[in-house]
Each structure stands twice: as C-alpha cells, then as structure tokens.
Amino acid sequence: MYEATFDLEAITPVFMRGADQRQVEFRSASVKGVMRWWFRALAGAYLGNDIEKLREVEGRIFGSAGSNGSRKSRVTVFVKALNEPGPLIDVESIRIKKVISNKKGSRLKVTFSFPYNKAGYLFFSVRMELEKFLKNELGAVLEKHGIRNKFEDKRQLDQILQMKGVNLGKLTSELKERVRGRIPTHYPPGSRFQVTISSSDREAFVLASTSLWLAVTYGGFGFRARRGAGSLRVVGITWDVPSGDRGLKQFLETLKNATLHDLERILENKTLNDAVNKESGKANYGPSPQVSSFPTLSKMIVLISERSYRNHSDALRALQEAYAGHYDRSRRMYEGGVRFEFADRRFSHDAIKRLRGGETNTEYRYYFGTPVIYANWETEVRGIGRENSREKEFSRRASSVILTVKKIGESYYPVVVILPYQYLPMHRGKFLAESKRNNEGTIIKVLTSQRTPFTNEDFVDWITSDVLTAFRFRGFRRVYP
C-alpha cells in the first residue's frame, strides 16, 4: 500500500458547499473532483488531443461510470478539516436601514460588515448570496408583524412601522436572533486541512499525488476558486511507502518542497514520467494542436506579481485591481483592469439591457467565462457552439483565467494562471442574451478586428497575446513556461 498525507493551509477564504448550501464542508468528493480536473491537464501534456485516451486513463485511475461499463477508483482520497468553519459575517454587524426612492418606492434593507470587502468584486456572488439570505429572513420578520416590504414613500413607511408598534431597532434585534447560528459559513484564511491519498497501485498513487499538488499550487477549491477564493498551500507531506522505493520517496520530497516556480522540474521527474508512460501505453501521441479540446499543462501560462504583500487581504486587493481596476463611485463602475480593457459598455447597454443584440468587435468580456450575469438588468449571457452539426447553447463555460494568491515564504503573491483551449465546440462568436424577467432573448455576434466571426483559434490567440500582455503591463511576470 502507498499512502501520503498532505497538510494544507488556507491562504484565502474557502467557500466549499455540502448538501446544505449555507454551510461550508471540506468534502472528499469535491477535492477528488478538482484533482481529476488537474489530472486531465497533466495527462493532456503527454496525450496530445486524444480525448478518448485521456478518458480511458482517467477512468482507470479515478474510476468511471457509463455506457462502456464502470471502473472502481484505484485511489482513495480521505479529507479532514482540522478547524471548525466560522460564520461569514458577525451577526452583531447586521443593521436595517430605510431605502428611499421616488421612482421605485421605499423599502427596508439589511446591511452588514463583509470581511472580504477588499476583494468585493472577486467575491461579489458570495456577498449576493448573503444579501439574498438576509433579505428573505427580513421578509419573514416583517411578515410576523403583518408588514410587506414595499412602501409608496418614506411617510407611508414611517406610518406603517408606527401603526405596527415597531421601529428599526426592534426589527434589527429580531432579525439578529432569527439568523443567529444560521449565517452561511466558510473556512477563513489560516484554516488547516489534511488530504490523504492511498492506493495499492504505485502509478495511480504517483499521478493522484501530482494532481493534488497541481490543484493546490496553481488552482483553488470551492466556490469562486477561479477568482481568488479557496487558495491553499502545502505545509507538509508525510508518507508511508515501501522502504526500498528510493525514487518514490525522492519524488514526494520534491513535491513537499516545490513552489509554483518548479513545474518544469516536476514534469521532468523520472518517477512521474514512468507512471505516465505506463498508464498511457508509452505511445507517442504527438504535440497538442494549436487549439486543444481541453485544458493542458503543455499550453498553460503562469504569471506572478512583481510585488509581494504582507497578508492575503492586500494581495487579494492587488489581484482585484489588476483584473477589475478601481471602483469609480461617481460613475458606479470599475475601470482600469484587464477585464474592462476588453469591454464596450455602450454596446452592452444597447445589446443586452435593451435586448437589441447586434455585432461587436470591441466587447470581449464574455470570453472571461459565462454565464455573464447583469444583475441590475436581470439579464444573462451564455455562449453558443455546435454539437452533432447543430447549434447548442452552453449554460456554463469556466474561465480560462484563474486568479489566485500564493504564499511563498512569508510573502503573498497575486498569481494569474492562463489555460487556453477551445472556448466552445465549433464556436463562431455567437452568444445568447436572455432576460430573466420574461425569457425574451437576442443574439450577440462577436467579431475580430477584421470583422470575421470570433472563432476558437481567435480566442486562443487573444488570451495568449492580448490578455497576457494586459496582465504584464499591470506588473505581472511570466514564470511558466
């Protein structure tokens, strides 16, 4: 039996959900799912673009189920959280305030102190979930008093509260008591975890251990893992392997001490290469094409900030500023970041808010991942590709840009990982913008600067040239390859 235990520490907050979506849970199934994703990227560096071979090898190691029969996993992944999760916000920070509007009427709104405001843009959906939870709980408190949270104006609001014999202080106290012990939880930075990998098969053990190291070193775990959350680091590895297996012990020692600068050394390791060759049949699958069908380490680009920071909070803020820019309060928008360098807000206003659709060669934000949700307009944009010669709408396409924070020594560094691969099968720049109010939709067509459809080849060129250059302009340097 081969066994290794990875001791891990959270660098940034971890939002990993279990059956109860409000409560965080560090789960074996979730960790194994992330390991499988990074295994595909690892194996893709050796198997070219052979998807069927990749699935076969992945199934042999991690297990599979399907029409071709099921395979049992050759590796066992056991996880343990060494710290109890904590509430996302302090209940005592909750307040209820009056929102007065001549156009939309008046209402009551819950405010609170969000501990990760420095990463407010990166973690916006986490905050939105909290706001939705507290809004519903406020509705329940008001319902108990026979109050509906919609008023014609401030005068009516004040009259109804007085008539019901309540004030903001009383309602706030009732809301706090109602949600106490029920606030959504998370694992804060500094939380510790253990992941134990065991297998009776040496090659499966090596590949699974490498996949976990890749996931920890270049990715993240849980909700918003591609936008700075869920970043972990290896603080130690202990193992129990045959005493005479010197090569395996040296490999595990290498993983234990490696940082994100050491990927080439890891990939050249004989123990890893022997394991890959044995599992893949030692065939020569050739180099990956310009546009691979899935993420692969052979195409991955890693950038690290030239500047280091003393804590995770400042590093997250710097990462957010590079990606989204600075928030202009007067204009109520972010400006100056990489994402908005490739934005055309005027086009979006006409095409999406008004559902007019149209063509653009200046709005490329959709290529940072879909769906793109315009909350104020209650509209969502999703990508369109083709499968089996027919157009297909894809509800989600994860971003090829992973934003994370890594700790090296006592310093924290913003890190950008770019994994270029096809945006969607046979994609030609088409997107659907759909209103959540009435399900009406319109088609958006993204074009190149030469006014031709924006294809997968154009996407890969754009993300490995324009996007890469934009991050380098903002103080990031390339460390891999």
Element (H, E) at 480: strand 476-480
Alpha carbon distance 172, 97 (integer Å): 9
What pLDDT is recorded for position 67?
Answer: 52
Which pair of tokens denotes residue 285?
């699958």
Cα separation, 264 vs 254, whole angstroms: 12
Separation between Cα atoms, residue 172 and residue 162, nearest integer Å:
15
- Give 340's Cβ-side CA count (13 Å radius): 17
Helix (H, G, I), strand (E, B) or coil at 217: helix
Q: What is the pTM of this model?
A: 0.93
Residue by residue, pLDDT tens for the chain (481 residues) are: 999 999 999 999 999 877 676 788 899 999 999 999 999 999 887 777 778 888 888 888 998 876 556 788 999 999 999 999 999 999 999 999 999 876 668 999 999 999 999 999 999 999 999 999 999 999 999 999 999 999 888 899 999 999 999 999 999 999 999 999 999 999 999 999 999 999 999 999 999 999 999 999 999 999 999 999 999 999 999 999 999 999 999 999 999 999 999 999 999 999 999 998 888 775 555 566 789 988 999 999 999 999 999 999 999 999 999 999 999 988 888 999 999 999 999 998 888 888 899 999 999 999 999 999 887 788 999 999 999 889 999 999 999 999 999 999 999 999 999 999 999 999 999 999 999 888 889 999 999 999 999 999 999 999 999 999 999 999 999 999 9
DSSP label of 324: T
* Helix H or strand E segment including 161: helix 154-164
Environment class of 408 (CB within 10 Å of its CB; exposed 0-12, middle 13-18, buried 19+): middle
Angstrom distance (rounded) from CA 272 to CA 59: 18
Q: How far apart are CA 169 and CA 368, in angstroms?
A: 43
Tell me the C-alpha distance between 131 and 133, whole Å: 5
Per DSSP (E only), the strands in 124-282 are 185-186, 192-199, 232-240
What length is written for the chain?
A: 481
DSSP, collapsed to helix, strand or coil, labels residue 471 as helix
Q: Round to whole Å and give the CA distance between 164 and 148.
A: 12
End-to-end CA distance of the chain: 35
Cis-peptide, bond into residue 371, ω within 30° of zero: yes
Give how far the C-alpha of residue 345 lies from the chain's centroid of Cα atoms, to the nearest Å: 24
Q: Quick check: helix, strand or coil at residue 463?
A: helix
CA distance 184 to 20: 10
* pLDDT for 375: 78
Is the distance from CB of 50 to CB of 288 less than 8 angstroms? no
* Residue keyed to tokens 């709104």: 109
CA-nearest of 204, 127, 128, 141 to 173 is: 141
- Phi, psi of 341, rounded to the nearest 5 degrees: -65, -25
Q: Which residues pair with 415 in a beta bridge?
A: 304, 404
CA–CA distance, 106 with 93 (Å, rounded to integer): 23
Distance of CA 139 to the CA centre of its chain: 31
Closest by CA position to 457, among listed 293, 290, 287, 286: 290
Return the pLDDT at 68: 59
